[in-house]
Homo-oligomer: A and B are copies of this chain.
Amino acid sequence: MDQFLHDHPITPRTDAEKQGVVNRLKRIEGQVRGIQKMVEEDRYCVDILVQISAINAALKKVGFQVAERHVKHCVSHAVKSGEGEASIDELMEVLKRLSK
């Protein structure tokens, strides 16, 4: 796989795609700020933990969205170019991290 593949996805994200992911991440950023406020206001631990779980779930969702696009574009391209092996090894490695 040439170096370019490691800097950018093989098919550039459209503006709509970028906006979709960025919007989700902005919501998550807001949730993280919300927890800071909860801690500062000395709110009940369990309520804070429920919020942390919600953020983790939201982040995993974004992760799988990014991973799906990666497989449909970058990995698929690599497979068709006869470079599937390295691309799939890289994919599995990052999926293991994501599932921890």
Q: How many A residues touch B, CB cutoff 8 Å?
A: 65
Shortest distance in angstroms between A80's beta carbon and chain B's nearest beta carbon? Answer: 6
Shortest distance in angstroms between A55's beta carbon and chain B's nearest beta carbon? Answer: 6
- Report whether B29 and A64 are in contact in the complex, using a CB–CB cutoff of 8 Å: no
Interface residues of A (CB under 8 A from B): 5-9, 12-13, 18, 21-22, 25-26, 28-29, 32-33, 35-36, 39-40, 42-50, 52-53, 55-57, 59-60, 62-64, 66-72, 74-76, 79-80, 84-85, 88-92, 94-100
For A100, give its contact among B46, B48, B53 (CB under 8 Å): B53
Known: A42-B8, A44-B7, A72-B85. A49 touches B18 (CB 8 A): no
